[in-house]
Amino acid sequence: MNILCIGDVVGSVGCEFLRRQLPSLKKLKAIDMVIVNGENSADGNGITPVSAEHILNSGADVITGGNHSFRRFEMYPYFDESNLVIRPANYPDGAYGKGYTVIDFGYTKVGVINLLGVVYTEPLDSPFDTADKIINQLKKDGVKIIIVDIHAEATAEKKALAYYLDGRVSAVFGTHTHVQTADEQILPEKTGFITDLGMTGPINSVLGVKPELAVKKMKNKLPVRFSTAEGPCLMNGCIFDVDNKTGVCNGVERISII
Ligand SMILES: [Fe+2]
Ligand SMILES: [Fe+2]
């Protein structure tokens, strides 16, 4: 099956671009499942029920999160109720929502795990140990296809996790930096990998934010309220071609649509 993973959708501008582009891309590439990182999909910050629904209604099967997942209070009950919108699994017990989910397509089941890196981010539980626990559980439950979103700052942490999970999961993709890396590959034990999917949002921006606001913050070192830039958008992602029965990754294709 072809699993399309889309990088951090930024603001309603990014959500709207996704809604316009996703249906035709799904047809063109014969996509069976779509996973979207939505941690920045709300205008202002984080993710809200409105932005989550926007992404799901555009054709996503699962939405993953990251360090901005819990920015918006109105999302907390939604996280608890939803099996389609997850947040990093290595948050402490008691955090709202779930860190992984399983989607049953009838002919196969796909597990999706969301993890947050701990290098230059939050001091959470080890993403390596958390992945071990969840993967063991999913294997016991007979889930053959497992996809991991490692939302992290450091490229080395993402790649090290991918090698650690090589042969145990179908694909590992990185998110968070909003800049797509050109290193899509199949690791030696047949796990697909890319260090970062990139972003879905405005091109003339700093990671989706209005450039003048990012400049102000970087230059003055004072807090600035960010808002999403406008204008033409791009959509970044990666397609993993995964064998339904074995979970082995047979192909990786990087996507960037303007
Ligand atoms: Fe992000
Ligand atoms: Fe992030």
Place 42 in a pLDDT band, splitting at 50, 70 and 90. Answer: very high
Question: Are the CB atoms for 30 and 2 separated by under 8 Å?
Answer: yes
Six token digits for residue 76: 């907390």
The C-alpha atoms of residue 249 and residue 243 are separated, in whole angstroms, by: 6
Using the structure block, give the residue that is written with the tokens 């998110």. Answer: 175
Is the confidence at residue 44, as pLDDT, over 90?
no
Of 54, 68, 151, 178, which one is the catalytic site residue? 68
CA 158 to chain centroid, in Å, comes to 13
CA 227 to chain centroid, in Å, comes to 21
Ligand nearest to the CA of 8: 1
68 is catalytic: yes
Report the separation in Å between the CA atom of 112 and the middle of ligand 1, taken as the mean of its atom positions.
18
What residues form DSSP beta bridges with 228?
209
Nearest to 101 by CA among 79, 122, 118: 79
Domains of the chain: residue spans and CATH: 2-257 (3.60.21.10)
Q: Per residue in 107-165, pLDDT tens?
A: 999 999 999 999 999 999 999 999 999 999 999 999 999 999 999 999 999 999 999 99
Ligand nearest to the CA of 201: 1
Report the separation in Å between the CA atom of 140 and the middle of ligand 1, taken as the mean of its atom positions.
32
Place 17 in a pLDDT band, splitting at 50, 70 and 90. Answer: very high
Q: What global pTM score does this model have?
A: 0.97
Sign of the CA dihedral with 20 first, then 22, 25, and 27 last? negative
